[in-house]
Amino acid sequence: MLKKMGEAVARVARKVNETVENESDTLELYLEGNALHRLPDEVSTLQHLKVIDLSRNQFQDFPEKLTALQALETINLEENAIVDVPMEKLAAMPSLKSVNLRLNPLNAEVRVIARPLIKFDLLVSPEGAQSDSAQ
């Protein structure tokens, strides 16, 4: 188990370093399926990041470091264990176009509060839907 976690952390560190070194206009970071439960601090240096895919990880809390990335357009957090989402902070992100929170056990307040606040596409599963891994 520790070896698997260590390998996942090493993959993430390599991916973040590659992304930081790549100074193209379309920065994208794909960290899906790495058993992550939090983001490394280095993510906050990615001020030109446009897309981040954190699907199929183990986030229980929404990674709020993402809300400081002003160029971020797409956040994919599908199939995690997130219950609460900082909708006010997401609503204040100027470039945000899409947030995928499908297959997360979101609380009902997130669903109700989100609609009037947001100007981006919020993708959520129907209430009561669960991922195969949660059944």
12-21 long-range Cβ contacts below 8 angstroms, 24+ apart? 12/36, 12/40, 13/40, 13/42, 16/40, 16/42, 16/43, 16/46, 17/42, 19/46, 19/49, 20/45, 20/46
130: pLDDT strictly greater than 60: no
The fraction of the chain above a pLDDT of 70, given in percent, is 72
Summarised one tens digit per residue, pLDDT across range 9-21 is 666 666 666 655 6
67: pLDDT strictly greater than 70: yes
99 bridge partner residues? 75, 122
Summarised one tens digit per residue, pLDDT across range 100-124 is 999 999 998 887 776 667 788 888 8
Q: Which residue ranges form the domains of the chain, and what is each CATH number?
A: 2-134 (3.80.10.10)
